[in-house]
Amino acid sequence: MAVPKRKVSKARRDKRRSNVWKLDIPGVAVCPNCGEMRAPHRACKACGYYNGRQVIAVKAAEK
């Protein structure tokens, strides 16, 4: 039966486990209507379009 010859140090053990807990950046998609960056499978905050139709009424920006 295979038995470790020496104790695995805490540093080596933790180095091996560290890759499991890394977070990924959230995905972003380009809105096909206005070109703004938006979350995938969500309505665009800039223009209010989702899946080729307007689902949210967005106020025009006042200057």
Give the 3-state secondary structure of residue 14. Answer: helix
pLDDT at 58: 86
- Rounded Cα distance, 35 and 29, in Å: 9
Q: State the pLDDT confidence band at 63, using cuts at 50, 70 and 90.
A: low
Quickly tell me which residue has 């140090």 as its tokens. 9
pLDDT digits (tens, 9 = 90+) for 3-46: 989 999 999 999 888 877 767 777 899 999 999 999 999 999 99
pLDDT reading at 47 higher than 90: yes
pLDDT at 23: 73
Q: CA 32, 58, 55 angle in degrees (round to 5)?
A: 60
For 8, the token pair is: 């695995």
Sequence ranges of the domains in the chain? 26-58
pLDDT at 19: 78
- For the whole model, what pTM was predicted? 0.53
